């Protein structure tokens, strides 16, 4: 089974822990898991994660540091060989809004790596504000354009509508689907841009697009300001679009968006994650989505755990009560 299709991601976009590094990470994850009150969302547990993240194996820390400096052409990082033992992973949850509030070795590994790069955050209106969220297929939601669905999930910037959308999205695989065909799709603007004409790029920079809250979010109010899909540097822009939630305000903008979608489809990678694989997507430069798969709801379905990271925690302070990790109305 190929790990991916289409152009390969380079070695600079991935790191596989060796046996010793895995043992070191496991020891830290167990220490964090056993930290009182053994609740992921508790500030004491998060404080311990912040401290222990400084003790991760040096080669991993170097790769993470490099990634936060510049996420590279692929605008993603794949960390492999994390301590996930498929034999001991519990049954895959199959309920809407499933989250990980109790500490576990897998959640601890995920949070340790995320906290080495920045601050884990969540939104109070999404998945009940939990910091570690389950990405699992849910019965009855097969057609849903959100991570509980199992049809193709359109390419998107995570929470594109939000002024404090995550900078990084981390997705760790505990179990893939039965057929091992479900893939996380990732596409970097740095690969897509050369496929677009100057005219199209110019239009994509203009405030001719509106993005509403995604289906996963309990509805946000009212009017959204038009924005550019591309922003910042003309040579190396940021990208913000959700092909399910962003609408062009005129026909020409719609045509430019269609050109972009076609370029994205051409350069997207499909990563068939294995248990113990953790992908970080740079949500400022890359889109992600998922291809279709067939859930069985037998406890052995695909299961990812997800975190969001902010690299500049201070920026969202006005939305966070008591300098905590959850963004909402204060
Ligand atoms: O299921 C996947 O691979 C990705 C789902 C997704 O977009 C998300 O959880 O943010
Ligand atoms: Fe997503």
Q: Tens digits of per-residue pLDDT, 289-302?
A: 999 999 999 999 99
pLDDT of residue 43 exceeding 80: yes
- Indicate if the pLDDT at residue 59 is higher than 90: yes
pLDDT at site 10: 83
20-34, 102-116, 219-233: least confidently modelled range: 219-233
Give the position, in ligand 1's atom list, of the atom nearest the Cα of 289.
7
Token pair of 239, please? 């990208």
Helix (H, G, I), strand (E, B) or coil at 114: helix
Give the confidence band of 222 by pLDDT, cuts at 50, 70, 90.
low
For a mutational test of ligand 1's pocket, the pick from 122, 132, 146, 147, i.e. the residue with the most ligand atoms closer than 8 A to its C-beta, is: 147
Confidence of residue 243 (pLDDT cuts 50, 70, 90): very high
% of the chain surpassing 90 pLDDT: 91
DSSP labels, 14-48:
EEE--HHHHHHHHHHHHHHHTSTT-BTTSHHHHHH
Pocket test for ligand 1, best of 99, 153, 216 (most atoms within 8 A of CB): 153
| 18 Cβ contact list (under 8 Å, min separation 6) | 81
| Residues β-bridged to residue 107 | none
Tens digits of residue pLDDT in 304-327: 999 999 999 999 999 999 999 999
147 CB near ligand 1 (under 6 Å): yes
> Is the pLDDT reported for residue 12 higher than 90?
no
| 267: nearest Cα among 157, 204, 192 | 192
pLDDT of residue 1: 44
Q: pLDDT tens for residues 263-296?
A: 999 999 999 999 999 999 999 999 999 999 999 9
Domain 4-315 has CATH 3.60.130.10: yes
Q: Write the DSSP symbol of residue 320.
A: B
Per-residue pLDDT at 234 exceeds 90: yes
Ligand 1 neighbour 184 (Cβ under 6 A): yes
Asked if residue 65 has pLDDT above 90, the reply is: yes
pLDDT of residue 86: 81
Rg (the chain; Cα; Å): 19
Burial of 87 (0-12, 13-18, 19+ CB in 10 A): exposed
Q: Is the CB of 302 under 6 A from ligand 1?
A: no
Statement: residue 48 has pLDDT above 50: yes
Classified as helix, coil or strand, 271 is strand
Model confidence at 7, in pLDDT bands (50, 70, 90)? low
Asked if residue 235 lies in contact with residue 247, where contact means CB atoms within 8 angstroms, the answer is no
Q: What is the DSSP string of 214-253?
A: PTTSPPPPS----B-SEES-SSS-EE--BTTTEEESSHHH
Ligand 1 atom nearest to 182, measured from its CA: 3
pLDDT at residue 5 in the model: 47
């Amino acid at each position: 089974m190929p790990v991916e299709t289409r152009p390969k991601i380079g070695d600079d976009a991935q790191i596989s822990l060796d046996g010793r590094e895995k043992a070191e990470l496991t020891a830290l994850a167990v220490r964090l898991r056993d930290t009182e009150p053994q609740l992921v969302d508790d500030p004491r547990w998060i404080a311990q994660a912040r401290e222990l993240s400084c003790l991760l194996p040096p080669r991993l820390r170097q790769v993470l540091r490099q990634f936060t400096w510049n996420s590279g052409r692929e605008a993603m990082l794949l960390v492999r060989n994390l301590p996930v033992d498929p034999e001991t992973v519990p049954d895959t949850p199959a309920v809407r809004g499933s989250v990980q509030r109790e500490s576990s070795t897998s959640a601890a590994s995920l949070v340790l790596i995320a906290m080495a790069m920045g601050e884990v955050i969540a939104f109070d209106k999404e998945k009940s504000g939990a910091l570690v969220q389950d990405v699992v297929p849910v019965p009855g939601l097969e057609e849903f354009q959100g991570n509980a669905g199992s049809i193709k999930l359109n390419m998107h910037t995570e929470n594109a509508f939000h002024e404090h959308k995550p900078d990084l999205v981390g997705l760790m695989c505990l179990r893939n689907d039965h057929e091992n065909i479900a893939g996380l799709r990732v596409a970097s603007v740095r690969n897509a841009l050369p496929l677009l004409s100057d005219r199209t790029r110019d239009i994509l920079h203009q405030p001719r697009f509106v993005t509403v809250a995604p289906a996963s979010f309990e509805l946000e109010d009212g009017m959204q300001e038009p924005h550019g899909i591309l922003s910042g540097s003309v040579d190396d822009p940021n990208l913000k679009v959700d092909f399910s939630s962003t609408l062009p305000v005129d026909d020409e903008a719609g045509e430019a968006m269609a050109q972009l979608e076609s370029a994205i489809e051409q350069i997207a990678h499909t990563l068939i994650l294995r248990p113990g694989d953790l992908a970080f997507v740079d949500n400022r430069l890359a889109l992600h989505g998922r291809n279709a798969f067939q859930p069985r709801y037998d406890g052995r379905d695909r299961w990812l755990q997800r975190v969001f990271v902010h690299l500049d925690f201070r920026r969202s302070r006005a939305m966070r009560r008591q300098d905590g990790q959850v963004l909402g109305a204060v």
